[in-house]
Chain A
């Protein structure tokens, strides 16, 4: 396997072919924040919180560390005023959805992000896609997927699959940084699994949802 030498925050770092900047940095104890990254899943590069500065061929670029391949001669900076500002803004954008998500709160403290900078959005999903990708890549079920696009993009359980596959799995629940997923699941369950134990126990007795 090819060994490569790159520079991260002034440190010479050895990396092998196929490694990302994130992996190379972590191998020497340099931490880069991530949200949509998961070791069991293919790199996705959606949340952009891992954005770092890369200098190559005389040009400086902002790239996501979780997908950008490590290469010889790269000069990487994981912190700078510009990077911190970018991460702060990305956090503030996410906090408008999930102001109380623990993962976001911790990062907000580090980068000085203001949870109230933007008006609150109705959905608290930050669309990291962990659930969707875990279900597709690890469980190979695709019981949860993305629908629509742009600001209308959301995750949704596919009732036909979810009603068969989810009841004894729920491995995606702990992955969700905002617990939106559980709500989405229970909503699907309530609306689309007429025979589920959930409905039998809840709807007959105490009124729920909005009561």
Chain B
């Protein structure tokens, strides 16, 4: 491919790509994002290819294209395929389905019922992607294109109008005008703090140094969060285009992608995208003949959570240990190698081309007063439709969890939703109707963070949740400053003690005091937000803490040291199911002999509770009360009247 040297050449080339694509030609788009790959998407693709080859040999016609795409978000039901031009969406497709799909749907134009989404609320099957409730209630400005393009093909991106925002910026706008557009859009950083992107850019632009850097922060480290990964894997050129535009506005000629090496597919796809962009002349010297130069390097992080903090990221990029630096000086003044540097999150950069192309009103028309545009959340935990959801700012938590997420599985009750990753807060039911934006979440003691959203049901112990997140943070703290290193260590110790029944009067108050010191005096945002899971769970679930401390009771039956399993002798039918399934061989009994759990051997795995037939319901959980003494041996034999002859 020859370099493109002007906007006119680009438009010519774009027309050429589009003209070669027949919009009516069938195409099977298979999600090959990391989630679907884990569910076997690669085998599905292979099966389709094999089937298509066979077709070619038999009938000498090439009937269908296959496109390997990035993640469209509905990971719960992967592998996902969408068949164009009808946009038929099949879920949980297996390699064995390939032949049938080619014959029935592609050649026979018939829908295969069993692969469709079943909308249980309306009791009907849904054919098109856009009608599935999970998608219907989203607004997918950033993720929407993932299924429409092959992320390894720059031509696919160009066919959808890609790099036209770059042309507009370079040829029709001054850097100041680009900056003005971004400022007016009120875009706030999607990495967590929610700082106004345009203002941040302006700081870097105004810094007097000639050498400036722009960086994509793709060090996504929250457990269970994969928004940035999906964007980089599925639509890397959108992020790249945003970065080049930002560099132009800021006056930078060198950029970096800081991606964690645990994202091999993202690293690969972004590498391919940069190479293609270089070949086409969107990156490098004299971009599209505009005179603007910009080069990009990819740096792989080693997977430390703290390196998502921008100053720690800079240290890591410089080859030093990933420990945060004090601010001020801010990176906009003294960043990478002492030069002014602007760092934005993947999702923030991906918003930029949209703003440039459609104007700042495009973004301000969506969202709330203080937070504009959409936000991608990774909706996980105890929710029916786990996956990536992109929703307009201002949607309620209830709509995300129930309309998009499809509610809580197994008819369980909702308990809390944790937003903002490990240092976010847990929000209880009473606040489910708040509008999700940066400020409202902060008001209830949580944060937007980068978009993690973990739904918890009634079987979740909030002390255990706080302990889990503090355990994560204690591993991930860099250990430089005292309040974070020691404060988290002590908070974790107290939480562990409480969950093991060793909690003491005054522990809650001590936790609050530690949380205050850690939150006030730590060096970076990791320490300053680390108390959130502790404080928010104390604030909304204090009774659970008290039950653990005072009654040595875990209300959700999670903390193993505080619960016991017990077989009710009046209900036990000696069916031997639990006896056989018990992995610790802790159940004594036999045919017609009432079963008893040996409390000394029991590991509290809960298997007996799960397998005991519900018509018997003999296995119960106890917490905060003693286990009744073993049933007397002489009464253990069951005499079955029906079988007596």
> Could you tell me which A residues sit within 8 Å of B by CB distance?
43, 45-49, 51, 62, 64, 67-69, 82, 85-86, 89-90, 93-94, 96, 118-119, 126-127, 129, 146, 148-153
Which of B273-281, B520-528, B604-612 interfaces with chain A? B520-528
Q: Does the CB pair A86–B520 fall under 8 Å?
A: yes
Cβ distance A200 to chain B, nearest Cβ, rounded Å: 37
- The answer to whether B480 has its CB under 8 Å from any CB of chain A is yes
Point out the residue from A67, A90, A118 that lies within 8 Å of B521, measured CB to CB: A90
Residues of chain B within 8 A of A85, CB atoms compared:
513, 516-517
Q: List 29 A-B contacts (CB under 8 A).
A: A46-B481, A47-B481, A48-B483, A48-B521, A48-B522, A48-B523, A62-B520, A62-B521, A67-B326, A69-B328, A69-B329, A82-B520, A86-B517, A89-B513, A89-B514, A90-B482, A93-B486, A93-B517, A94-B482, A96-B486, A127-B480, A146-B479, A149-B477, A150-B474, A150-B478, A150-B485, A151-B474, A151-B486, A153-B480
**Besides A93-B483, A127-B480, 13 other CB < 8 A contacts?**
A45-B326, A46-B523, A49-B482, A86-B521, A90-B486, A90-B517, A93-B487, A94-B486, A96-B486, A118-B490, A126-B482, A149-B479, A151-B486
Q: Does the CB pair A151–B485 fall under 8 Å?
A: yes
Q: Does the CB pair A150–B326 fall under 8 Å?
A: no
Cβ distance A55 to chain B, nearest Cβ, rounded Å: 15
Chain B positions 114-156 with a Cβ under 8 Å from a chain A Cβ: none
A69 to B330, CA, bound (A): 12
A153 to B306, CA, bound (A): 15
Residues of chain B within 8 A of A148, CB atoms compared:
479
Cβ distance B355 to chain A, nearest Cβ, rounded Å: 28
Q: Does the CB pair B521–A151 fall under 8 Å?
A: no
Residues of chain A within 8 A of B489, CB atoms compared:
150-151
Point out the residue from A89, A93, A152 that lies within 8 Å of B479, measured CB to CB: A152
Cβ distance A152 to chain B, nearest Cβ, rounded Å: 7
- The answer to whether B475 has its CB under 8 Å from any CB of chain A is yes
Q: Does the CB pair B486–A119 fall under 8 Å?
A: no
- The answer to whether B202 has its CB under 8 Å from any CB of chain A is no
Q: Does the CB pair B521–A51 fall under 8 Å?
A: yes
Closest chain B residue to A88, Cβ basis: B517
Q: What is the 8 Å Cβ interface bit string for chain B, positions 290-304, against chain A (1 contact, 0 not)?
A: 000000000000001
Query: Which of A43, A62, A94 has the most chain B CB atoms closer than 10 A to its own CB?
Result: A62
- The answer to whether B493 has its CB under 8 Å from any CB of chain A is yes
Residues of chain A within 8 A of B223, CB atoms compared:
none
Q: What is the 8 Å Cβ interface bit string for chain B, positions 496-534, against chain A (1 contact, 0 not)?
A: 000000000000000001101100111100000000000
- The answer to whether B476 has its CB under 8 Å from any CB of chain A is yes
A86 to B522, CA, bound (A): 11
- The answer to whether B321 has its CB under 8 Å from any CB of chain A is yes
A90 to B523, CA, bound (A): 13
A126 to B476, CA, bound (A): 19
